[in-house]
Amino acid sequence: MNQRIYFDNAATTSLDAEVLAAMMPYLTEKFGNPSSIYSYGRETRMAIETARKSVAKILNAHPSEIFFTSGGTESSNTAINAAVRDLGCKHIITSPIEHHATLHTVENLQRSGEARLSFVKLLPDGHIDLADLEQLLRGSAEKSLVTLMHANNEIGNILDMDAVGALCRKYNAVFHSDTVQTVGHFPFDLKNTPVDFITGSAHKFHGPKGTGILYINENIKIKPFVHGGGQERNMRAGTENIYGIVGFAKALELATANHLADREKIGGLKKYMAVALEKNIPGVSFNGDVNGKSLYTVLSASFPASERSEMLLFNLDIHNICASGGSACTSGADAGSHVIRALKNKAEQVTVRFSFSKYNTEKEVDEVVETLKELV
Ligand code: PLP
């Protein structure tokens, strides 16, 4: 059996050894409760606040705007529910290609009658139609929440956050962006970005799973989202996930320090694979704005459907290659991808998302393309 090739880094990444080393003391000897008043507890409190300061500095935010959570899902749920319940947004504008952490949350608010829901139109390349967004905002009698993701996890398209934020400010709307695929992969300057809430998740950039952030702009005042003790400035009660928080900050520090080199390497692999696929696989096409405003980690490819290619993901797995499905197909138990369905209404293609990290190589790309030549 070949060595495993892991091309599913948009799903999750491996934990960096340096991140684990930074977390280790808090999994072993430094176990004091950060709420305790003795020095043993103060030491862990200090670790949390140092992590918060570091994250805030990297994102150019104030430490009081950073809340540690259990990940991207909790952060988006919190922001969206708070915008409706605490900030008076009775109209939600989103897109059909958001992550389920957003879509299922807004659908729940619609079902409960707490908010009306509108879907903004998409352009043929999968980008948000900003003219349609403005029309929806202008025509809304209620205060709106706009929730649009920064980079799409399936096709990699990147949203112009400044343009969307400017429209939101113009129409007095709240703006939440799911930035789970970009925090750790993209330089943020939150003091100069017109956004109210963003989210981050450590396991997308070689940090631990189950740990994330919610950024809440200092001008936004929401109610506590988990009730109990006074942790996270009375907003999210519960004894903190200290090692997760330390791991989040360390992973973000490493990602930021090496951003340019990693970006160049990973973006190079994406291009290399796109060219190799075009050269070797007849009928291959790419989804989203692959050569334009697109995240350098994600390549979504569609292959012509055939008896062989129907089994593509299964066969890739047999060859020890990890990649994600993204087929529009709705047959069988797999409901297919809502993102690909929203972009293409025909199912006669098989879509696979390849997503890369700094640990991937051109040799691995060559091997995967060779295997695909047999499987498609
Ligand atoms: N949003 C996007 C775009 C994602 O890719 C993911 C992860 O799959 C999430 C949200 C959910 O993040 P988490 O796994 O930290 O809950």
Tens digit of each residue's pLDDT (9 = 90 or more) over 272-298: 999 999 999 999 999 999 999 999 999
Residue with CA closest to ligand 1 atom 13: 72
Residue with CA closest to ligand 1 atom 12: 72
Q: Which residue is associated with the tokens 């950073």?
A: 66
pLDDT of 325 reads 83
Ligand 1 centroid to residue 280 C-alpha, Å: 33
Q: Is the pLDDT of residue 174 over 80?
A: yes
Secondary structure letter of residue 184 according to DSSP: T
Q: Which two tokens stand for residue 28?
A: 């072993």
Q: Which two tokens stand for residue 275?
A: 């060219």
Closest atom of ligand 1 relative to the 151 alpha carbon = 3
Ligand 1 centroid to residue 10 C-alpha, Å: 9
Mutate to test the pocket of ligand 1, among 12, 78, 147, 153 (most ligand atoms within 8 A of CB): 153
Predicted confidence band at 146 (pLDDT cuts at 50, 70, 90)? very high
Residue 226 CB-density burial (10 A; 0-12 exposed, 13-18 middle, 19+ buried): middle
Q: Is the pLDDT of residue 335 over 70?
A: no
Strands 144-147 vs 116-119: parallel, antiparallel or unpaired: unpaired
**Cβ atoms of residues 247 and 207 within 8 Å:** yes
Predicted confidence band at 40 (pLDDT cuts at 50, 70, 90)? confident
Predicted confidence band at 327 (pLDDT cuts at 50, 70, 90)? low
Residues tagged active-site: 329
What tens digit of pLDDT does each residue of 235-285 get? 999 999 999 999 999 999 999 999 999 999 999 999 999 999 999 999 999
User: Who's near 74: CB < 8 A, 6+ residues apart?
Assistant: 212, 214
Q: Give mean pLDDT, residues 333-343.
A: 80
pLDDT of 332 reads 46
Q: Is the pLDDT of residue 333 over 50?
A: no
Q: How far is CA 83 from CA 86, 131, 143, 276, in A?
A: 6, 23, 10, 45
Residue with CA closest to ligand 1 atom 8: 11
Residue with CA closest to ligand 1 atom 5: 153
Ligand 1 centroid to residue 179 C-alpha, Å: 9
Q: Identify the three-state secondary structure at position 345.
A: coil
This prediction has a pTM of 0.96
Choice between 328 and 15, residue whose per-residue pLDDT is larger: 15
**Cβ atoms of residues 278 and 299 within 8 Å:** no
Element (H, E) at 370: helix 362-375
Ligand 1 centroid to residue 308 C-alpha, Å: 31
Q: Identify the three-state secondary structure at position 166.
A: helix
Q: Which two tokens stand for residue 192?
A: 């100069």
Q: Is the pLDDT of residue 109 over 80?
A: yes
